[in-house]
Amino acid sequence: MTTSGNEIDAVVRHVAVSAEPLVVARHEAAVEHPRAGGRVVFCGVVREVDHGREVVELEYEGHPRAEAVLGEIAAEFAAEPDVLAVAVSHRVGQLAIGDVALVAAVATEHRAAAFDVCARFVDAVKARLPIWKRQVFADGTDEWVNCP
């Protein structure tokens, strides 16, 4: 099991909030399981346009407890009966267009469950993780968004 220092439920394979670039393949490998018939990996990627406005810079700032909260969310989903393994990371700091900001990976015995769990997992992370996103637009304005 890989975690960021805390022992979590055995099926939580990786939880991190980091300024380092996220490696998607590591998350997919982390949820490998011999009973898994479905593995779903979601990548949240920095896009160059948001609501019709050109984004030139993006920054994520995290609360000191962000990684602990992410671990709590992961443990909740790992406890679901269909789930074999989960892995999740969120990046903080300055990100460029195309950088991966969030990776969530889920393994279940069946494909449909993997899609369902991963979608709900990502929604829970976006709703509850205390990480704030600042977007700077081409016209020089900025805004803070997705602040739980």
Could you tell me the domains of the chain?
Answer: 12-140 (3.90.1170.40)
Q: What is d(CA 148, CA 130) in angstroms, rounded to the nearest whole number?
A: 6
Q: What is d(CA 2, CA 32) in angstroms, rounded to the nearest whole number?
A: 13
Q: What is d(CA 133, CA 110) in angstroms, rounded to the nearest whole number?
A: 34
pLDDT digits (tens, 9 = 90+) for 21-65: 999 999 999 999 999 999 999 999 999 999 999 999 899 999 999
Q: Which residue has tokens 């997919």?
A: 28
For residue 46, count other CB atoms closer than 10 A to its CB.
19
Question: Does 10 score more than 80 pLDDT?
Answer: no
